[in-house]
Amino acid sequence: MSSSKQPASTSFKAPDSSRLQLDEQGRLRHFLTTEGLSKDTLTEIMDVAESFSSVGHQAVKKVPVLRGKTIVNLFFENSTRTRTTFDLAAKRLSADVINLNIATSATSKGESILDTIRNLEAMHADMFVVRHSDSGAAHFIASNVEPHVSVINAGDGSHAHPTQAMLDMFTIRRVKKDFSDLKVAIIGDILHSRVARSQIHALNTLGVKEVRVIAPKTLLPSDTNSLGVHVYGDLRTGLDDVDVIIMLRLQRERMGSALLPSEHEYFECFGLTEEKLAYAKPDVTVMHPGPINRGVEMDAAVADGANSVILQQVTNGIAIRMAVMTLTLGQNKATG
Amino acid sequence: MNIVIKNGRVVDPANERDAIQDVYIANGKIQSVGDKPSGFVAELSIDASNKWVMPGFVDLNASLREPGYEHKATIESETKAAVSGGYTSVCCLPDTKPVLDTPSVVQLILDKAELAGYAKVLPFGALTVGLEGNTLSEIYALKKAGCVAISQAPKNNVNSQVLRRALQYASTHNMLVILKPEDRVIKDDGCIHDGSVSSKLGLAGIPISAETLAIAQIIELAEETGARVHLTGVSSARAVTMIARAQSTNPAISADVHAHQLHLTELDVGTFDANYHTSPPLRSAEDRDALVAGVAKGVFNVSSGHQPHEAEAKQAPFPSTEPGISSLETVLPLMLELVDEGILDVSQMVSRLAYGPSQTLGLDTGCLSKGAPADICIVDPDETWVVDEEHWFSHGINTPYLGHQMKGKVTHTLVNGHLVFEK
């Protein structure tokens, strides 16, 4: 049989993410993944974020863009950092914010996700910011909400974390101005990283010259090449001539689970030190989504060094989340 | 009742028959094919002009959900679905609640099946008590109560030593052991084929080695113990090669593949479509093509892998949904598609669905021999129909084919000479 045989079911699929994310006019309705979004859409997100980036410096750190809107932070998985930045972004846009930590409430009583969503919709929520340990959770919720409700993916399993990826793109753009000549290396646990997947799609859409991933095989997906990257198992080779280094956070539970032997050996092979940094371009930009395990992913000298933009990433995260909330709720008016 | 099925194309691979003939039935058994028995007076005459008359299909892999999971399906609903899809015998995997590990549960299932009056139900007794993988069930008692085989499916949670002893013990009683080849340690929390789609979606993958390691273990233990072993629900190209090689030296090893695995691939999962969450997972196009070739060569028979679910079981993020397709009603059109493509001839199709599985289980069905039970399905191979909820019999409407046009429809099904389904 030829491999081009069409399965009988092809025409009856759930909507793919790119169609689900956009309305009929091609505007962003949900923000679930960077995959399938156009360069124009990603650029627009960064442009709107640029216009919001001054709000944090004002005496009154608020704009009235989403006044009267109700945003629900729906966290099925604990996260203080990410939830705080979404919380802050919503408040700076003058929205009303409800933080629900479902990990310790409804679902432990057996309520299904759909029941939770229906209840919150009945309270006239306008937006759900969703974090869940299952890949596909934000997509599932977006497929089931009422037409006026927007969903922002704040991290689903190992699938996607698009606002983190876009704040990284925003940070890169602010430092490097142009994407087209960049070689970017992503280092660490690609297999379990929703951040890496979203970054890879965004970097390729924005037209960088090359995306590399550097990791041991135990931390790589089985078909990494299909993601559109070059794979390296050796840090020094992989860093050669690189413009941007993105370190990934390594979960401590990966240690001693046959994925990795020890923190010591990981640091020796894949940890970023000043000595290894020298293999990259002199003006290389070093990024990390935080929180850093110093001495595991990178040593302190690199984390706090001149090439590091780690704290700028945090600041930029708020502007990016303000931009995505504004765009998805259809209030696309930059307030500069 | 005396029944004659007239003018149909009779396809009966067991007797190497493929011709337009009449089938005569008396006392629930095949009386004659072709020549009218002397003195035969038909009380019912079924016109099968332009239709195919075939032995009813025998399923090697289905969960019927009763007792214990009646919110998903019942023996009545699923045996009705079975006969509407051309099946006259369906197995019942032991994953009921209570588990099918005692004669009383066997009896309950047989009673319910008889009361429903549709397909015959073939109970597969649990290999281990509670399917927990530790203690052998009373296999002899289960056999006496009516189990045609014993099985650990849909689980595969026995360690090598328990499995080795189970095969030794089962072969003592000449009992077929049906196993799902899946190394659960390698599978871990995987929910999709470990390949390009899992890499993209960030879903935990099930490597092919989860299947091939289990097959290697089972083949070795079958060889050593002399047990009759059937591998159910094979999914990968490497498995096809391994099983074909094993069969060349050990004829006591048989296998089946679910019909939908011959059509769908990992790409059908698309963007987290839980209707394509199956176990074993849908694999690559190369795997699918190798499975199809394996069916054509006779390495495998074809099973439904029927797993009916309530709607809520599929309404969650992909990894949290329950795997499985409600498939009894779509096996025939999926197989006919392979016939239309010239991959199988009609006789081979009937062999994979009826005669082959019946032989695996050591039954006297799956053929239209004189004196065999009159388990027959009549099929209009050209009728097209659309899969919709209204004309669907299974209580599980978890099928990825909903809304899809199918070609080939069962018009009549007879079990023991009783007309149990008529379109």
- The pLDDT tens digits of the residues spanning B18-36 come to 999 999 999 999 999 999 9
Range scoring the smallest mean pLDDT among A157-161, A249-253, A297-301, B92-96:
A249-253
Residues of chain B contacting residue A192, judged by C-beta atoms under 8 Å apart:
202
Tell me what pLDDT residue A1 has: 38
> Is B342 an interface residue toward A (CB < 8 Å)?
no
Provide the pLDDT confidence category of residue A5 given band limits of 50, 70 and 90.
Answer: very low
Q: Based on the domain organization, do A127 and A175 belong to the same domain?
A: no
> B343 pLDDT exceeds 60?
yes
Name the residue among A8, A20, A194 with its Cβ closest to that of B202: A194
Q: Is residue A8 part of a domain?
A: no
CB B393 within 8 A of CB B329: yes
- The pLDDT tens digits of the residues spanning B395-412 come to 999 999 999 999 999 999
CA distance B113 to B371: 23
Tell me what pLDDT residue A291 has: 87
Mean per-residue pLDDT, B298-321: 96
Q: Based on the domain organization, do A310 and A320 belong to the same domain?
A: no
- What Å distances lie between residue B404 and B225, B292, B385, B386, CA to CA? 46, 21, 8, 6
> Is B401 an interface residue toward A (CB < 8 Å)?
yes
Q: Is residue A185 part of a domain?
A: yes
Specify the amino acid at residue A206: L
In DSSP terms, A245 is beta-bridged to A185, A286
Provide the pLDDT confidence category of residue A331 given band limits of 50, 70 and 90.
Answer: low
Q: Based on the domain organization, do A25 and A60 belong to the same domain?
A: yes
DSSP code for A14? P
Q: Who contacts B8 (Cβ-Cβ below 8 Å, separation ≥6)?
A: B20, B21, B22, B23, B48, B49, B51, B52, B53, B378
CA distance A64 to A164: 24
CA distance A88 to A106: 24
Task: Tell me the residues of chain A between 140 and 159 that have a Cβ less than 8 Å away from chain B.
Answer: 140, 144, 156-159
Query: Which domains does chain B show, CATH number per domain?
Result: 56-361 (3.20.20.140)
Q: Is residue A210 part of a domain?
A: yes
B400–A156 CB contact, under 8 Å: no
Residues of chain A contacting residue B404, judged by C-beta atoms under 8 Å apart:
8-9, 11-12
Specify the amino acid at residue B92: C
Asked whether the CA dihedral A232, A238, A243, A244 is positive or negative, the reply is positive
What pTM does this model have? 0.93
Mean per-residue pLDDT, B43-71: 97
Tell me what pLDDT residue A110 has: 64
- The pLDDT tens digits of the residues spanning A35-75 come to 999 999 999 999 999 999 988 788 888 899 999 999 999 99
CB A137 within 8 A of CB A75: no
Max mean pLDDT among A100-104, A108-112, A253-257, B306-310 falls in B306-310
Q: Based on the domain organization, do A154 and A178 belong to the same domain?
A: no
Q: Who contacts B201 (Cβ-Cβ below 8 Å, separation ≥6)?
A: A135, A136, A159, B192, B269, B271, B272, B318
Q: Is residue A76 part of a domain?
A: yes
Q: Is residue A12 part of a domain?
A: no
Q: Is residue A295 part of a domain?
A: yes
Q: Based on the domain organization, do A213 and A320 belong to the same domain?
A: no
Tell me what pLDDT residue B106 has: 98
Q: Based on the domain organization, do A172 and A208 belong to the same domain?
A: yes
Tell me what pLDDT residue A109 has: 57
Q: Based on the domain organization, do A142 and A243 belong to the same domain?
A: no
Tell me what pLDDT residue A12 has: 41
> Is A254 an interface residue toward B (CB < 8 Å)?
no
Provide the pLDDT confidence category of residue B351 given band limits of 50, 70 and 90.
Answer: very high
CB A29 within 8 A of CB A326: no
Q: Based on the domain organization, do A270 and A205 belong to the same domain?
A: yes
Pairing mode of beta strands B405-415, B376-386: antiparallel
Provide the pLDDT confidence category of residue A13 given band limits of 50, 70 and 90.
Answer: very low
Q: Is residue A171 part of a domain?
A: yes
Q: Who contacts A332 (Cβ-Cβ below 8 Å, separation ≥6)?
A: A27, A48, A326
CA distance A55 to chain B (A): 35
CB B324 within 8 A of CB B310: no
B203–A136 CB contact, under 8 Å: yes
Q: Is residue A56 part of a domain?
A: yes
What Rg value do the Cα atoms of chain A yield, rounded?
20
Provide the pLDDT confidence category of residue A290 given band limits of 50, 70 and 90.
Answer: confident
B317–A135 CB contact, under 8 Å: yes
CATH code for the domain of A287: 3.40.50.1370
Tell me what pLDDT residue B157 has: 87
Tell me what pLDDT residue B155 has: 85
- The pLDDT tens digits of the residues spanning B227-265 come to 999 999 999 999 999 999 999 999 999 999 999 999 999
B199–A226 CB contact, under 8 Å: yes
Residues of chain B contacting residue A224, judged by C-beta atoms under 8 Å apart:
199
**B154 cis-preceded (ω within 30 degrees of 0):** yes
Provide the pLDDT confidence category of residue A252 given band limits of 50, 70 and 90.
Answer: confident
- What Å distances lie between residue B275 and A13, B327, B390, B399, CA to CA? 9, 12, 19, 6
- Whether the complex's predicted ipTM is more than 0.85 is answered with yes
Provide the pLDDT confidence category of residue A8 given band limits of 50, 70 and 90.
Answer: very low
Q: Based on the domain organization, do A321 and A307 belong to the same domain?
A: no
Tell me what pLDDT residue A268 has: 95
Provide the pLDDT confidence category of residue A6 given band limits of 50, 70 and 90.
Answer: very low
Strands ordered across the beta sheet of B120-126: B57-59, B87-92, B120-126, B149-151, B177-179, B229-232, B253-258, B301-303
Number of domains in chain A: 2
Cβ–Cβ pairs < 8 A, chains A and B: 119
Structural domain of A324: 17-160+316-328
* Number of Cβ atoms within 10 Å of the Cβ of A131: 26
Tokens representing B49 are 């002009």
Average pLDDT in chain B: 97
Please enumerate, as own/partner, the contacts of A51-54 that have beta carbons within 8 Å and a separation of 24 or more.
A51/A323, A51/A334, A51/A335, A51/A336, A52/A92, A52/A319, A52/A322, A52/A323, A52/A326, A52/A334, A52/A335, A53/A315, A53/A316, A53/A319, A54/A336
